[in-house]
Amino acid sequence: MPSNDQEFQRVATIIGFENTNAVLQVDDTQVLRWPIKKLPNDVREGMVMHLRVSNAHSEEAEREQLKRDIINTLLQG
């Protein structure tokens, strides 16, 4: 089983639209239907999307790292 702070990413291509959903092809084997209203406004067929799944712990760690990076940049400037 993966560790709790692990992040998972996949590349998906929009292969069409059905009603209020975009149809995304993931890894050549899986199809995912995603609400169009939850995607950027300029989505179109053929567009490549990057999907990311992370847990709360990894999100918090990412925010903390961003804070440190900003502070270090400000202190160096």
Domain residue ranges of the chain, discontinuous segments joined by +: 8-76
pLDDT: is 55 or 22 the higher one?
22
* CA dist., res. 12 & res. 18, Å (int): 16
pLDDT: is 75 or 45 the higher one?
45
- pLDDT of 23 strictly over 80: yes
Provide the whole-model pTM. 0.63
Instruction: Reply yes or no on domain 8-76 having CATH 2.40.50.
Output: yes
pLDDT the model gives residue 45: 97
pLDDT the model gives residue 53: 79
Are 5 and 58 in contact by the 8 Å Cβ rule? The answer is: yes
